[in-house]
Chains A and B, each alone.
Chain A
Amino acid sequence: MDARVERTDAQVVRDVLDGDRDAYRLLVRRYGDTLHGHALRMTGSADEAADLVQRALVKGYRKLGSCREPERVGAWLFRILANMCKDHVRSRRRSDIPLAKVQEVLPDDSDPEADAVGAEIRSRIWGALDALTPEQKEAFVLKHVEGRSYEEMAAVMDLSVASLKMRVQRARKALRGLLEEFA
């Protein structure tokens, strides 16, 4: 077994800052999947998600010296990616988000429940989500799609539980209006 795998995040960060660039590979392996999952749910596109994650990880490497809590470097990398995702969503026009992009990332063997939702409903749901502000969309995805607790969200996003609850509440209110027919 590679002895480096046993290193804690804080040790890895220290090693990288001491010049061991290759140690950063461990952080890529540890957090790549989680980062990619969030980027995918924010963008709806596998290609865009992969590009954002790549850029976030490289930016994380370049800024690693400013990571104040090396033992929580995963959350720190997530914040970098989350900010990039919001910026990406903000800069993208709604019309640039065809349903096909959402559907292309659905697994071929999607379960019957998911199939039952139907393409039209999927379109309406994710179209409505893209109509939210990037901050509301992020809060809603973290809470209701990724199923995180408010405490987890607060730790990852460096925001208070109260402000996150407010964001989720506003997102839900906006979605209710947008999805009135469906609901």
Chain B
Amino acid sequence: MNDDRHIEASSGGPANRPDADERRDYDEWERMIAAFRQSAPRSTGAPPWLEQKVMAEIEALPESGPFARLLQWLVRPAPVRIPPLAGLAVAAGLALLIALPRGGEPGPGGVVDGGVVDGAVVDGSDVRPAGGGSDGMEAVVYVQFVLEAPGANSVAVAGDFSEWEPEYTLEDVDGDGVWTGRVPVRPGVHTYMFLIDGTEWQTDPRAERYSDDGFGNRNAVLAVTAGT
């Protein structure tokens, strides 16, 4: 039964009898719907090999028991929400720590690593090493990549900042098909693409600029500034 035809009815309630035009219009629509139903591809059920293939693929996946899930939960990055005031307090504390004279030589790697972690917590976007870059170390900016790929099993981003290796994987934590990930990128102009399911390269549809990759496709272009 076409229970929504009242949407298109021009004159209202069930008490009103449809006029001839409406009746003809409705009959034509009913014929078209019938034609759709008659011509629809008919499934005789899922193919018999489906169950076997699905189960074989599942068997090949890593363990998914409670222990494995606990392990995944422990190693999976999770966003940390903190109120702005607490963020400022943390930033002030860090600034104080950095400003204080220390005994011993600071390890350069340690400074960068510490900056990355602290920067991500404080404002989640821009990270600079101690000394504002005056010591010759380049700033690193965390860039948030987002791709809507509801059917994907995995999404990675690759670009000149990763020597085109898809080493940065995006996450679809809540299963809504929107994949996100934060990637450290040095200031400059970069090109990148997404790699879906390890095989399908896709240009970022939301990029502001593009450039030809020389193979008939377009790379997305990303301009990163050091921030202030």
Contact = CB atoms under 8 A, between A and B. Distances in A.
B38 A113 contact: yes
Interface string A126-158: 100100000000000001110101100000000
Interface in A143-183: 143-145, 147, 149-150, 165, 168-169, 172, 175-176, 179, 182-183
A165 B7 contact: yes
Contact of B46 (A36, A65, A113): A36
A13 interface: no
Contact of B54 (A57, A84, A145): A57
A78 interface: no
Nearest to B63: A19
Interface stretch (B27-35, B78-86, B121-129, B216-224): B27-35
B150 interface: yes
A102 B41 CA distance: 6
B75 interface: no
B69 interface: yes
B114 to A, nearest CB: 33
A25 B53 CA distance: 11
Interface residues of A, number: 69
A145 B37 contact: yes
B89 to A, nearest CB: 34
A55 interface: yes
B50 A32 contact: yes
Contacts of A16: 64
Given A117-B39, A126-B39, A145-B40, A59 B177 contact: no
A30 B47 CA distance: 13
B206 interface: no
B19 interface: no
Given A36-B46, A40-B43, A107-B42, A29 B51 contact: yes
Contacts of A5: none
B136 interface: no
Nearest to A58: B57
Contacts of B64: 16-17, 19, 21, 61-62, 64-65
A163 B100 CA distance: 60
Contacts of B36: 125, 129, 144-145
A23 to B, nearest CB: 11
A94 to B, nearest CB: 17
A64 B121 CA distance: 30
B61 interface: yes
A121 interface: yes
A21 B39 CA distance: 39
Count chain B CB atoms within 10 A of each CB in A22, A61, A84, A144 and give the residue with the most.
A144
B59 interface: yes
B90 interface: no
A37 B43 contact: yes
Going nearest first, the 3 A-B pairs with the smallest beta carbon separation are: A19-B65, A84-B151, A32-B46
Interface of B: 3-4, 7-8, 28-29, 31-33, 35-47, 50-51, 53-55, 57-59, 61, 63-66, 69, 149-151, 153, 174-175, 177
Interface of A: 16-19, 21-22, 24-25, 28-29, 32-33, 35-37, 40-41, 44, 46, 49-50, 52-55, 57-59, 61-66, 80, 83-84, 86-88, 102, 105-107, 110, 113-114, 116-117, 121-122, 125-126, 129, 143-145, 147, 149-150, 165, 168-169, 172, 175-176, 179, 182-183
29 contacts: A17-B69, A18-B66, A19-B63, A21-B55, A28-B50, A32-B45, A33-B45, A35-B46, A41-B43, A46-B47, A54-B54, A58-B54, A58-B57, A59-B153, A61-B58, A64-B64, A87-B149, A105-B43, A106-B42, A110-B42, A117-B35, A117-B39, A121-B39, A143-B4, A144-B33, A145-B36, A165-B7, A169-B7, A169-B8
